[in-house]
Amino acid sequence: MVKQNIPNDKSTNGKRNSKKRYINYRKVNKKQQLHPAKAKESVRVAFLGGMNEIGKNMTVYEYKNDMFIVDCGLAFPGSELLGVDLVIPDFTYIEKNIDKVKGLIITHGHEDHIGGIAYLLKKVNIPIYATKLTIGLIKGKLQEHGLLKNAKLHEINPGDKIALGEFKVELIHVNHSIPDAVGLAISSPAGVIIHTGDFKIDTTPVDGDMINLTRFAEYGKKGVLALFQDSTNAERPGYTMSERTVGESFANLFRKAGKRRIVVATFASNIHRVQQIIDVAKILKRKVAVVGRSLENLVQVGEELGYLNVPENILISIDQIKNYTDDKLVVITTGSQGEPMSALTKIAFGEHKKVSATANDYVIISATPIPGNEKMVGNVVNELMKRGVEVIYEKMYEVHVSGHACQEELKLMMGLIKPKFFIPVHGEQKHLQKHAALAEAMGIDKKNIFVGNIGNHIEISKNGIKPLDDVPSGEVYVDGIGVGDVGNIVLNDRKHLSKDGIIIIVATIESETGNVISGPDIVSRGFVYVRESEDLMNSARDLACRVIDENYNNKYRDWNSVKTKLRDEISHMMYEKTKRNPMILPIFMEI
């Protein structure tokens, strides 16, 4: 099932004032005049994900009959989505307008930006544009889904310009926690829009390639209609530390480990972090083993494409760790967020088949818990400590830095780009609101700032930002191989089962007489322990016999009425005796 907002069938094309307008950014400056465009020209933008939420980023840009998409990510389910594996955007709006869609541009290779691509391509096969590493990671996903052969993948580089109908899109290099991340300069007859993607300003990046602030500033001098900027760290003051500081922390901590085995848990996509771990391991003459499927894939792709510099004979398979003493090993693993099925969680709880935690382990959790994951991370830390493991997870050790810009970096980008309109993206409401306040403090008129929501559809011209009717949007749940077949009804049943359990009533009835000739048998799961509740089960059995006898009509055989009455009576009795509401499932067989 799909949770969605359905738009009204109204047309909102209004008349535009043709008078020339100039950017009003503190002072009017004619040198900052927008690209020549008539006032009636406008760009429409639809937010299919990444607004008022963390993850599943997806934005659609439209000009007349041309459309293109930026990113197609996923989100990981919260604890309330029982049994759900992944959450992806609703693609209804894309399918409805497929004839207009010119392509999909991916800003970088993180799951919240590429994780939904395979599910989109199962519905519509559109061209995909991304940088080298991002294409490599996308190929791995499409290969798993059997979609690689027919996919239209185009490798592009920072500085390249892509023509998508009336749109001309330039890729601009930015720093992030994964290489090959880009921001976008989107040119159209209505003006230029800058879409930063996820970024930070790192003056000493691990790969040596600093964000291209010069190019952003050049667009700012020419005139920018609107800025769509990453809001993830909008609440954090100051600057984000350089990724290189983590490498220095690793060097100090690895030496403190002494003769213990070192285990480092990090995000599977943080290739810079993996590189720094390998570099320090080489200095200390330790072998490196990688645990976790997603991390193994990243290392393989990164090494093949030249983004990881792996010295010869330093990497070993997880099966080989038994051949080395603890002081000669570094294990890199997934599970920095305490995910239940991750390698580190299995190691902590003694469930991993090949790696066991011992008191001679030195575990470094190189990540900050995502909001909502704190308890899961805490559980993993506690389990490791119970086994005598020393765990380094506190912020004071500087074993993790964010890949997103903090307030001073956000303001610096605004100052360079000087947009007329500002739209904060990629964040929950608190992030978007804080980001909007920063923009206002930078001199952008409050009426020129738009704080949106998923499903919003807006029209941007030099005259202003105009809300249009919302587009279909929301969450589609992926459970196993099922996509969209788990909705609110199924989830409510799962919550009910997890809370109060289930009682199954099975009876065999003779069709001619209506007599119960077998049963009713009472089966309880997740409700009470039957052997200790025999009186309760016997009472339920007697009540079931009476209800069936009183309500069965062998002439009309209205099974639904009998089952409904049985559910009501048993449910009432169970609540009176236990103050619980188990799910009641009657099963009748007529012979």
Lowest mean pLDDT among 147-151, 349-353, 551-555: 551-555
501 contact partners, CB below 8 Å, separation of at least 6: 524, 525, 526, 527, 528, 580, 582, 583
Confirm if 540 and 506 have CB atoms less than 8 A apart.
Answer: no
Question: What's the CA gap between 310 and 406, in Å, rounded?
Answer: 32
Q: What is the structure's pLDDT at 240?
A: 94
320 contact partners, CB below 8 Å, separation of at least 6: 287, 289
Q: What is the structure's pLDDT at 33?
A: 43
More confident residue, 389 or 269: 389
Residues annotated as catalytic are 230, 404
Q: What percent of the chain has pLDDT over 90?
A: 58
∠ at Cα 506 (504, 508), nearest 5°? 170
Q: Which two tokens stand for residue 222?
A: 């020419």
Burial of 155 (0-12, 13-18, 19+ CB in 10 A): middle
Confirm if 91 and 123 have CB atoms less than 8 A apart.
Answer: yes
The three state secondary structure string of 71-128 is CCCCECCCCCCCCCCEEEECCHHHHHCHHHEEEEECCCCCHHHHCCHHHHHCCCCCCE
Residue-wise pLDDT tens digits, 344-359: 999 999 989 899 999 9
Please name the residue that has the structure tokens 């997934």: 334
Q: What is the structure's pLDDT at 30?
A: 42
* HSE, side-chain direction, 13 A CA sphere, residue 446: 4
pLDDT at 414 > cutoff 70: yes
Confirm if 507 and 548 have CB atoms less than 8 A apart.
Answer: yes
Helix (H, G, I), strand (E, B) or coil at 305: coil
Please name the residue that has the structure tokens 């993948």: 153
User: Mean of the pLDDT values across residues 450-477?
Assistant: 94
Confirm if 487 and 1 have CB atoms less than 8 A apart.
Answer: yes
pLDDT at 514 > cutoff 70: no
User: Mean of the pLDDT values across residues 86-108?
Assistant: 95
More confident residue, 126 or 15: 126
More confident residue, 71 or 506: 71
More confident residue, 558 or 428: 428
